[in-house]
Structure 1
Amino acid sequence: MKHTFLFAAAIAALSPLSAQAQTMSSSPVVSAGNTLLSVAAEGKSTRTPDLAVFNAGVTTQATTAGAALTENAQRMSAVIASLRKAGIAERDIQTSNLSVNPVYGQPKRLPDGSMEQQDPIIIGYQATNQVSVRQRKLDSYGKVIDTLVANGANQVNGPSFQIDNSDAAMDEARIEAMKKARMRADLYAKAVGLRVVRVLTISENAGWSPPQPQVMFARADMASAPKSSPVAAGELEMTVTVNVSYELGQ
């Protein structure tokens, strides 16, 4: 019985050490006499956007919430119908905002110049309905905006230019980043009289930098907008930063 107890105690004592050993082994380990080098490098690639995302909608105001929402629904139905007629697919039209909010009157100014102290008074209601739209034919983007304006839209914001499938462009940036990382590793190794033995770890941070979205129109007199709104898509820049650890040795 005594031997059984001692054996169990020994196993219990070794368990934390075993777990600790597993944790320590997850870090990069270099051979005796070798050196650990960590470098960061950035790779880039550019593409012409093939997708424009923008928001379009209608804001209406009336004395009652029901009246504001009814008018809004009628005008928004015309806006959505115009999007479909312009060739925008159903899957590329998605409601992004539907709200009804009170409109408060301004306090009155008293003869002495001060403002009348009173609880806010609701003088009407404002209804807003917006959809997020993905425009895939960029050469038609300006015409689509003009069509929306002509059919009652009084809020159009965007665009945010994107790439529908960025995998190939991101891979190009990754390859460039890894080449730069290896060149720097070789440079450091040569400077200290060593060579790169192997890669130990690789991690990345990736993303793209699209042109900043701009407000196209946001006013009540949108019927006076130009008949062909100019749009410049420019280029998107895909960026990948890699962090690579190398083992250096003789």
Structure 2
Amino acid sequence: MQILRSVIVAAFLAAPVTALAGEIVVQGYGSVEQAPDMATITLGSQFAAKSAEKALEQVNESTASVLETLTELGLEARDIQTSGLYLNPVWDDSYTQHGSRRIRGYSAGNTVHIRVRDLEMLGGLLDQVVRDGANTFNGLNFGLQDAGDAQNEARRRAVADARAKAELYAEAAGVALGGIIELKDGATSSPQPVFMERAALAMSDAVPIAEGEVSTSARVTITFDIAD
């Protein structure tokens, strides 16, 4: 008898439970679409040369020229950041008689992260930095300088969506919806980066840019009581 009782208890604990009796659990989703007012760009310079000194010199010259242009265009220091400076040997594919590989040159590179708060200048800026020597382009991401209002509105819409679902389920089940027992805030997401091909930058005129819209979303999980 004790063994049977233990089996029953174990089966009960293993059973999935999504909601207690007298409760309705729903998830809500809300999003806000609007035009972006900022762009984030990641670009840089990469050069190869016979000597490490020459490779690094070319990268430094290109990066300095890009930074100078950005300053002349009116970008603030807080919106420009360099990172990822590297210098690596370029190995020959063949081996010596002793089984070692020769270094045939060096590759150097640097990356610049840029925030552009005036989107009207974006196309011309991209064109100019390419002329200055930037030859790697790793992404263009449109966003919002201050996403707080959009995030709050997305949360409001998520809660409204959850309540609408709960009211529908309660009506379909023939019960009255009660108050909120628990509300869990889910993740608030921002738009994914929009990438451009490097070839699109090799244009004589300013790079054409289509901003489109950005979407800010939120999710909530709400547990409602079923009224007596």
| TM-score where L is the length of structure 1 | 0.76
Residues in 2 aligned to 1:172 and 1:50: alpha-carbon distance in whole angstroms: 18
In the TM superposition, what are the counterparts of 1:114-193 in structure 2 within 5 Å? Answer: 118-193=99-174
The one-letter code of the counterpart of 2:214 is L
SS at match of 2:225: strand
Q: Is 1:51–1:136's contact at 8 Å kept on the other side of the alignment?
A: yes
Considering fraction of residues, name the structure with more strand: 2
The 1:209–1:91 alpha-carbon spacing in structure 2 relative to 1, beyond 3 Å, is closer
Unmatched 5+ residue regions in structure 1? 1-28, 109-115
Alignment partner, residue 230 of structure 1:
208
Cα offsets for 1:51-93 (capped at 9, x unmatched) = 1111122112222212211232122111110111112111100
1:51 alignment partner, one of 23, 38, 59:
38
Alignment partner, residue 14 of structure 1:
none
The 10-residue stretch of structure 1 (208-217 or 129-138) with the greater mean CA deviation from structure 2: 208-217
SS at match of 1:121: strand
SS at match of 2:217: strand
Residues in 2 aligned to 1:211 and 1:88: alpha-carbon distance in whole angstroms: 24
Alignment partner, residue 23 of structure 1:
none
SS at match of 2:194: coil
Q: Is 1:208–1:236's contact at 8 Å kept on the other side of the alignment?
A: no
1:101 Cα deviation after fit: 0.7
In the TM superposition, what are the counterparts of 1:83-94 in structure 2 within 5 Å? Answer: 83-94=70-81
The 10-residue stretch of structure 1 (62-71 or 136-145) with the greater mean CA deviation from structure 2: 62-71
| % identical equivalent positions | 30
Unmatched 5+ residue regions in structure 2? 1-18
The one-letter code of the counterpart of 2:61 is Q
Residues in 1 aligned to 2:163 and 2:62: alpha-carbon distance in whole angstroms: 59
| TM-score where L is the length of structure 2 | 0.83
2:94 alignment partner, one of 100, 103, 107:
107
Cα offsets for 1:191-233 (capped at 9, x unmatched) = 33321221011112233352543134269xx7x5231110111
Q: Rg larger in 1 or in 2?
A: 1
